[in-house]
Amino acid sequence: MKHRKVSALTGSLAAVALVLSACGGGDIAEEEDQNAEQAGEAGDCGDLNLAVNPWVGFEADAYVVGHVAEEKFGCKVSYPELAEEVSWQGFGTGEVDVVIEDWGHPDLEKQYFADSGDGSAMEMGPTGNIGVIGWYVPPWMAEKYPDITDWENLSKYADLFETPESGGKGQFLGADPSYVQFDEAIVANLDLPFKVVFSGSEAASIAAFRRAEEEKTPLIGYFYDPQWFMSAVPLVRVNLPAHTDGCQDDAKSVACDYPETELKKIVSTEWAESGSPATDLVKGFSWTNDDQNLVAKYIAEDGMSAEDAAAKWVDENPDKVEAWLS
Amino acid sequence: MSAATVERKPETAADPGGAPAPDEAVPRRRVPLWWWLAGVLGAWVVLSIVLGDRWTLYLPGQGTRGIHETLGDFRRDLIAGRDDNPVMQAVGALSDLFNTVVEWLQGLVSQAAFPRPVPQIGWLGVIGIAGWVSLAVAGWKHALGVVAGLGAIGLLGYWPEAMDTLIITFFSVAICLLVGLPIAVLMGTNRRVNAIVTPVLDVMQTMPSFVYLAPMALFFSLGPAIAVAVTVVYAMPPAIRISAHALRAVSPTTIEATTSMGQTAGQRLRKVQLPMARRTIIIGVNQTMMAALSMVVIAGFVNSPGLGIPVLRALRAGDNQVGVAFVAGLSIVVVAIVLDRVTTAASERSELAARGAAPGRGRWILLGVVGIAAVVMVYLSRTYFSLATFPESEVGPRVADAVQSAADWANDHLRGVTTFVQETTTTLFINPLQDLVAGSPWFVTGAALVLLAQLLGGWRATLSTVVCVGGILATGLWYDAMVTLTSVLVATVFVMVVALVLGVWMARRRGVDRVLRPVLDAAQVMPSFVYLIPVLGLFGPGRFTAIFAAVVYAVPVAAKLVADGVRQVSPTTVEAATAAGSTAFQLITKVQLPMARGHLVLAANQGLLYVLSIVVIGGLVGGGALGYDVALGFSRSEFFGKGLAAGIAIVLLGVMVDRVAKQAAERRR
């Protein structure tokens, strides 16, 4: 009895397998032979390790560059997903070749650039994106309180921003810990009745600003462009005392606005000297904030995979891509 | 951190780490304990009002102290000297070995094995082999469960990622056992080793992984090896603790009997202790696996192959990807539940086998036949594309869409309520308690903590508390530690309220138990990263959100403990009370809960440790304090020292509350 059950089961398993295989696609062995033949003809690019730091704009840059490197030079691209810190550690060991978007890391530069550190990393020019860090409010507030975009009026609106988190003062929403921030110093040195409460992550900041716009609740916090969320909810910047050279050198006494940052490409020195054809591509790569925000929106808002989003943009912008390669 | 301390099950907690407290008979107090407690609290409140907001040792979010710089220099020196650091070179060689093994396994089941366009063994072959193995170790039902589980993962669309996760998990668990079991044998047979290793295990389990993730990447490079390494650090303690406990639990009479028969220590270990402890050791393996799985998402932060990466990618993309994150998280849950059930069944079976229940001839035939079927399946999966790469299905996207619409609906309709709840709780509970704990001068809070420990737990608890309070002061993060302590206490209270309701309900109604238990199991292994975004949408960033995430995470374990405790109350007692005319409410409050007190204390203790273990996740959603400091140290090299100090402070908080709770429970027995 039991045996019969067993053989019935095996039989049906085998039958299922056969049916599946009958409708199954191509033959693996065939393709294996093809691959083996092609192995010798691969381009001279070899492996390309494009780190992906944890924000969507970065992902957009990395996958666009990676897509082009794959298509034009036959590079075997991998995308290790790493925090900024850890990516820079990887330059020295060959596990990371390119960090495609760097917002400025004096501390890491000191550790890894040639003049003061071990020389495992070097700069490879700007990405064309301009990072605009600053204090932002949701659009509804800028409309209702037009003068709020000047820091000198913030004190009179401080009450609006009070929350149970901010201990009787106005709440200023600080950002993801990975970003360079001087808000605690700015609040203190400009004598503003605010308390910096850290959102803790980019996701948390975005959630808070989205809520604030949808519910028409007051919010002020640290934000930045390029960032896809800006095309969904165009936050309005609050002007702090203008940035002057060196005004943010001493972290404790900062009382000025953030500078506009030219975003840079950082690469592994060893890779840069390797003669890989992809080095020219990375050197030449340059696009605008709008370009990046569009690809980032494909990924974050439209739910496309990063590969598809990059391929779509590259297809739609052949002349821009051509310009990087010439 | 984030990750679960799934392994801290009763076995661990009940583990008499050090010798049990010498019998200090509870002194007969003339003044009841409650009065003393009220007195200390009253004095604390008065002093905090009188002395106001002074000497709180407050440090701004991005401020540092000398000690943090010193700790940070340590890592800077490591990086500067990495080319000629012999330890790093040695570990580097080891990690190359790890990488080779993992990559070979990936070529076997998850990644294209060049020149093949697909892995050596396709999904059908893997299902065949897995089914056969579980049939052999766990039996029919579980084999079917494994096949169904793997099929579900394929349908959800994460086959290769799930295979990677399984590879990392099995490989890490193998190392945990290889290294852990000999240590466990030493601990189980030698008191001194036990005393030295136990605190090390405590640190390994409570130190947030974010603290050592980046430095360990220096040693292990960024391949799969680092994933294996961080997983081992976190998952090894349960393997050691539970096995050592099992060895120690072998009855002394048995051991004496064998010694008198002239057995050597080695013989005794092999012939008596290990076989007798076998079942518990397999439970240890089970707990180690669950702990390893709770590291999946954390390991994703250093690019570990597996299911962590899709979860993090969806998290990064924000509120339109909640459904996608859920599906990836669900795949982790399925993997965890399948592994849990199979290893549990295997342990029960091994018990039967040990008692001499030999399998019949029919079983061998069955195994043989299914084995042949598995071989055929492997062959087919090597030959045909559709049997090698799991066919695309609509199931994953459908589930994702459904979850997404649910999340969007909640976001649109519940915000009024959630905002009210968040604001009220923060104003009524969190702020006043934080004003007391963190807002008092440090010496007032410190003294209050020591006095409370003395009242609740006696001298041993006091000693632990003094050491921990001193240690926290030395980390330079006193204020942040007190803010975190406040949140942890509030969260634990909520955990216990929910756990009591659910636990009692489960214990009194079989049907409820049958429905709730699997849900709780799933909630316990679902990575918190999956529900952070919807929770943020509902409550916005802040301490309440951090507390909420912690409560969701800690309720399952506490509720299950409460349910088990209430169910253990003897039916005769319950009958007697019912016959005496107790109402259901009286029965619960006067009979069942008091008699389950041991379990309730354990539930509170475990709940608190679980809450503490996701403090860093809280830091990512506005919880601030120590959780934020750890996250800051992970993401900015100039704050590495501060992150490390915060990690140490979290360990000290955990040790402090755990010791006080254990001593308190001990005295009340």
Q: What is the pLDDT of residues B451-480, one digit of tens each?
A: 999 998 888 999 999 999 999 999 999 999
Domain ranges of chain B: 90-108+118-390, 411-668
Contact by Cβ (8 Å): B604, B613: no
Q: What pLDDT score does B128 carry?
A: 92
Q: B631 and A200: CB-CB below 8 Å? A: yes
pLDDT for residue A36 is more than 80: no
What pLDDT band is residue B50 in, cutting at 50, 70 and 90? Answer: confident
Chain A contact for B140 (CB, 8 A cutoff): no
Between chains, do A303 and B623 touch, taking CB under 8 Å as contact? Answer: no
Helix (H) or strand (E) holding B669: none
The pLDDT of residue A39:
60
> Between these two residues, A317 and B669, which has the higher pLDDT value?
A317
Contact (CB<8Å) B623/A39: no
Residue A286 confidence (pLDDT): 95
**What is the CB neighbour count within 10 angstroms for residue B473?**
17
Q: Which residues of B touch A177 (CB under 8 A)?
A: 619, 628, 631-632, 634-636, 639
Range scoring the smallest mean pLDDT among B13-17, B138-142, B320-324, B444-448:
B13-17
Q: pLDDT of A247-276, one tens digit each? A: 888 888 899 999 998 999 999 999 999 888
A89 in contact with B, Cβ within 8 Å:
yes
Q: Does residue A101 belong to the interface with chain B, where contact is any CB pair within 8 Å?
A: no
The answer to whether the CB atoms of B423 and A32 lie below 8 A apart is no
Q: Which residue of B has its CA nearest to A34?
A: B115
Q: What is the dihedral of CA B566, B568, B574, B575, to 10 degrees?
A: 140
Locate the DSSP E strands across B493-545: none
Q: d(Cα A101, Cα A53) in Å, to the nearest integer? A: 8
* Number of cross-chain residue pairs from A and B with Cβ atoms under 8 Å apart: 237
- Give the model's confidence band at B357: pLDDT under 50 very low, under 70 low, under 90 confident, else very high: low
Per-residue model confidence (pLDDT) at position B238: 87
Cβ pair B384:A20 closer than 8 A = yes
pLDDT surpassing 70 at residue B3: no
Which chain A residues are closer than 8 Å to B639 by Cβ? 177
Question: Any chain A CB within 8 A of the CB of B301?
Answer: yes
Contact B540 A117 (CB under 8 A): no
pLDDT at position B445: 94
Task: For chain A, say whether B360 makes contact (Cβ under 8 Å).
Answer: no
Architecture of domain B411-668: Orthogonal Bundle (1.10)
Measured between CA atoms, how close is B279 to chain A, in angstroms? 30
Peptide bond into A226 cis (omega under 30): yes
The ipTM is: 0.84
pLDDT (average), residues B50-79: 85
Q: Does B359 touch chain A (CB under 8 A)?
A: no
Task: Give contacts of B124 with chain A, Cβ < 8 Å.
Answer: 17, 20
Please state, rounded to an integer, the average pLDDT across all residues of chain A: 87
Please answer yes or no on whether A81 and B114 come within 8 Å at the CB atom.
no
Residue B2 is predicted with a pLDDT of 38
How far off is chain A from B206, nearest CA to CA, in Å? 21
> What residue ranges do the domains of chain A occupy?
47-130+261-325, 131-260
Interface membership of A46 toward B (CB under 8 Å) = no
Residue B29 pLDDT > 60: no
- Cβ separation of B303 and A202 shorter than 8 Å? no
Q: Determine the 3-state secondary structure of B458 from DSSP.
A: helix
Is B391's pLDDT higher than 50? Answer: yes
3-state secondary structure of B187: helix
**Any chain B CB within 8 A of the CB of A54?**
yes
Decide if A301 and B628 are in contact by the 8 Å CB cutoff.
no
3-state secondary structure of B251: coil
B90-108+118-390 and B411-668: identical CATH topology: yes
Question: From the candidates A211, A253, A254, A298, which should be mutated to test the interface with B, based on the most B CB atoms within 10 A?
Answer: A211
- pTM, two decimals, is 0.87
Residue A219 pLDDT exceeds 90: yes
B-chain residues near A167 (CB < 8 A) = 431
pLDDT above 70 covers what percent of chain A?
A: 90
Instruction: Determine what percent of chain B is predicted with pLDDT higher than 90.
Output: 36
Q: If pLDDT is split at 50, 70 and 90, which confidence band does A231 have?
A: confident
Mean pLDDT score, B395-401: 91
B309 to chain A, any CB pair closer than 8 A? The answer is yes
Using 50, 70 and 90 to split pLDDT, how confident is the model at B52?
Answer: confident
Per-residue confidence (pLDDT) for residue B656, from 0 to 100: 92
Cα-to-chain-centroid distance, residue B259: 39
pLDDT of residue B11: 36
CB-based contact, A153 to chain B, within 8 Å: no
Query: Residues of A with CB below 8 A from B117's CB?
Result: 28, 31-32, 35
**pLDDT at residue A121, as a whole number:** 94
**Interchain CB contact of A119 with B (< 8 Å):** no
B417 touches chain A (CB under 8 A): no
Query: pLDDT tens across B568-624, in order?
Result: 888 888 888 888 888 888 888 888 888 888 788 888 888 888 898 889 999 988 888
- The answer to whether A197 contacts B114, with C-beta atoms less than 8 Å apart, is no
A9 by Cβ neighbours in 10 Å (0-12 / 13-18 / 19+) ranks as middle
Mean pLDDT over B538-542 rounds to 88
- pLDDT, tens digit, 9 for 90 and up, residues A55-95: 899 999 999 999 999 998 889 999 998 888 889 989 988 88
State whether residue A14 sits within 8 Å of chain B by CB: yes
Nearest CA to A240 out of A289, A170, A178, A192 is that of: A192
- Three-class SS of chain A: CHHHHHHHHHHHHHHHHHHHHHHCCCEHHHHHHHHHHHHCCCCCCCEEEECECCCHHHHHHHHHHHHHHHHHHCCEEECCEECHHHHHHHHCCCCCCEEEEECCCHHHHHHHCCCCCCCCEEEEEEEEEEEEEEEEECHHHHHHCHHHHEHHHHHHHHHHHECCCCCCCEEEEECCCCCCCCHHHHHHHCCCCEEEEECCCHHHHHHHHHHHHHHCCCCCEEEEECCCHHHHCCCEEEECCCCCCCCCCCHHHCCCCCCEEEEEEEEEHHHHCCCCCHHHHHHHCCCCHHHHHHHHHHHHCCCCCHHHHHHHHHHHCHHHHHHHHC
Distance in Å, alpha carbon of A171 to nearest chain B alpha carbon: 11
**B90-108+118-390 sits in which CATH class?**
mainly alpha
Residues of B in contact with A184 (CB under 8 A): 60-63
> Could you report the per-residue pLDDT of B546-560, keeping only the tens digit for each?
999 999 999 998 998
- Interface residue A108 vs chain B (CB under 8 A): yes
Query: How far away is chain B from the Cα of A201, in angstroms, using its nearest Cα?
Result: 5
Q: Does B143 touch chain A (CB under 8 A)?
A: no
Question: Measured between beta carbons, which residues in chain A are less than 8 angstroms from residue B218?
Answer: 89
Those of residues 627-646 in B touching chain A at CB distance below 8 A are 627-628, 631-632, 634-639
> Among residues 181-240 of chain B, which lie with CB inside 8 Å of chain A?
213-214, 217-218, 221-223
Rounded to the nearest angstrom, the minimum Cα separation between A126 and chain B is: 22
Residues in chain A with CB shorter than 8 Å from the CB of B372 are 10
The arithmetic mean of pLDDT across residues B382-406, rounded, is: 89
Provide the pLDDT for residue A10. 52
Q: Measured between beta carbons, which residues in chain A are less than 8 angstroms from residue B628?
A: 177, 198, 200
Q: Residues B236-242: what's their mean pLDDT?
A: 88
- The CATH architecture to which A47-130+261-325 belongs is 3-Layer(aba) Sandwich (3.40)
CB distance from A186 to chain B under 8 Å? no
The residues near B570 (Cβ < 8 Å, ≥ 6 apart) are: none
Which chain A positions have a beta carbon within 8 Å of B385's beta carbon?
A: 24-28
Please name the member of B324, B385, B622 whose beta carbon is closest to the beta carbon of A26.
B385
Strands A260-268 and A121-137: antiparallel
Answer whether residue B20 shows pLDDT above 80.
Answer: no
B386 lies within 8 A of chain A by CB: yes
pLDDT for the residue A129: 94
Residues 310-329 of B with CB under 8 A from A: 312-313, 315-321, 324
Query: How far lies B656's CA from each of B92, B448, B463, in Å?
Result: 36, 14, 10
Instruction: Please name the residue of chain B whose CA is at the shortest distance from the CA of residue A80.
Output: B303
A116-133 mean pLDDT = 92
* Interchain CB distance below 8 Å, A200 and B624: yes
Interface check B114 vs A, CB under 8 A: yes
Task: Give yes or no for residue A17 having a pLDDT over 70.
Answer: no
Query: Nearest Cβ partner of B426 from A164, A173, A300?
Result: A164
Is residue B19 over pLDDT 50?
A: no
Nearest CA of chain B to the CA of A54: how many Å? 7
Q: Which fold has domain A131-260?
A: D-Maltodextrin-Binding Protein; domain 2 (3.40.190)
Whether residue A209 contacts residue A219, with contact meaning beta carbons closer than 8 Å, is answered with yes
